[in-house]
Structure 1
């Protein structure tokens, strides 16, 4: 074979490329998963710090503990090298012992706490409205009630919440999230017929106003299964509709908070 043919033959030979599958090249996924988990824990911490309930510190501790405990469980390890088939030679059989059940939690009476916190909220944050009678807190044998005049929450003949109403309902929602009770929002009007084709009558207006309050409370974090709106039109006046001042007293929205725990409002009312 000539020298030219020998050189051509060598050029035709294919050089096998070096393998790029180095062991452990996917280990970055572990670090990335840890980073995402810690970032999630950071946002959980920020959310927990924003809560204004008396048990904030305990809830923060539980939230962070749950997140960090789940770090190792959420990352699936990547096998490096050939997988091990069968059981290790030094494996031991450990008898599974059932975890004992936690003792039942005794439910404490929360009615006094709800009434006290709600009263303090109104007196400290909305003292002017409380003194002028635009907002009141009361209780009965079964309910704690927060009554708000419609002029505080809505414009005349409207059902969109004012900025002042939103500020109040944010604080109410933060309080109610700590007490899993059934909540009913009642809408009431006076007996003057509505001159509006858009609303139709006082039944529609009272229902829409109650629904607007419920929507805001749910948007601020309250469980939607525990709350519902009810419109009563002018059928349950607070005082007789004899003059403008009396009719103003009857135009109101009432948030009623049950003194009994309830997972959802439907079972509370109908079962």
Structure 2
């Protein structure tokens, strides 16, 4: 007699063992999950940490997150304000007009990805001092308010002429130039500019923009420069 043909092929032997293994693993993880507990405090800390890393903030009310409700998440710094070069140059042009209107000698210079506001120090600081004139402080603050609108990194640089200075406070022009740059930086912080976007440097008599052999040239070299990093 001929054997009856099988209607369906039998499964491989290994497949039965594999199915049993998957069932046991699933049971094991269900058991672990049933035994685990979730700490709401730790959960809140994890959410806050992840959100802060992306520039946001989570505010939990007292008692944590109510059941079935969502936590409010704000991202004030995740999407920074984008400024065009035209907007930045417009603000700097207004600052230039402001300085000239108040009798300060100023100019604007472009250097690749930066634009600099050059301000003569004759009406900013008394000779040999890093304490701004009282009359100059409101102008510096108004200049800061205009630059705050663009929220870009600023580098405040101090320069002097080549006439040596030697006092208890400032042994050389290097210290004087750095102190003047820092004085402007402090006024910017006081008016609310983000300190993370500010830096200061003193270059003393180096990098002159005019010859130091005439009074007019030395006057041009005594200056503060505010370098604004242009958006790419």
Q: Which of the five TM-score ranges fits, normalised by the shorter chain?
A: 0.5 to 0.7
1:213 is displaced (CA, Å) by 0.4
Question: Who is 1:175 aligned against?
Answer: 146
Question: Who is 2:172 aligned against?
Answer: 201
Instruction: Work out whether 1:113 is the aligned partner of 2:87.
Output: yes
1:95 is displaced (CA, Å) by 9.6
Question: Who is 2:125 aligned against?
Answer: 154
Secondary structure of the structure 2 residue equivalent to 1:191: coil
Instruction: Identify unmatched segments of 5+ residues in structure 1.
Output: 1-69, 77-92, 262-271
Query: Mean alpha-carbon deviation: is it higher for 220-229 or for 252-261?
Result: 252-261
Question: Who is 1:237 aligned against?
Answer: 208
Query: Mean alpha-carbon deviation: is it higher for 111-120 or for 243-252?
Result: 111-120
Instruction: Work out whether 1:136 is the aligned partner of 2:107.
Output: yes
Contact 1:190 1:237 in 2 (8 A): yes
Return the alpha-carbon distance in structure 2 between the equivalents of residues 182 and 138 of structure 1.
17
Instruction: Report the TM-score, using the length of structure 2 for normalisation.
Output: 0.63
RMSD: 3.2
Secondary structure of the structure 1 residue equivalent to 2:228: strand
1:245 is displaced (CA, Å) by 1.1
- Cα distance per residue 1:188-242 (max 9 Å; x no partner): 0011111323310001000000000000010110111110110000111111211
Instruction: Identify unmatched segments of 5+ residues in structure 2.
Output: 1-58
1:94 is displaced (CA, Å) by 6.2
Query: Mean alpha-carbon deviation: is it higher for 166-175 or for 229-238?
Result: 166-175
- Kindly tell me: are residues 258 and 151 of structure 1, through their superposed partners in 2, closer, same or farther at Cα, counting changes over 3 Å? same
Contact 2:116 2:226 in 1 (8 A): yes
Return the alpha-carbon distance in structure 2 between the equivalents of residues 112 and 139 of structure 1.
13
Return the alpha-carbon distance in structure 1 between the equivalents of residues 69 and 120 of structure 2.
65
Alignment length (residue pairs): 168
1:118 is displaced (CA, Å) by 2.1
Instruction: Report the TM-score, using the length of structure 1 for normalisation.
Output: 0.54
- Kindly tell me: are residues 198 and 136 of structure 1, through their superposed partners in 2, closer, same or farther at Cα, counting changes over 3 Å? same
- Cα distance per residue 1:107-160 (max 9 Å; x no partner): 644322122122123325643536xxx122333321121111111210011100
1:176 is displaced (CA, Å) by 2.1
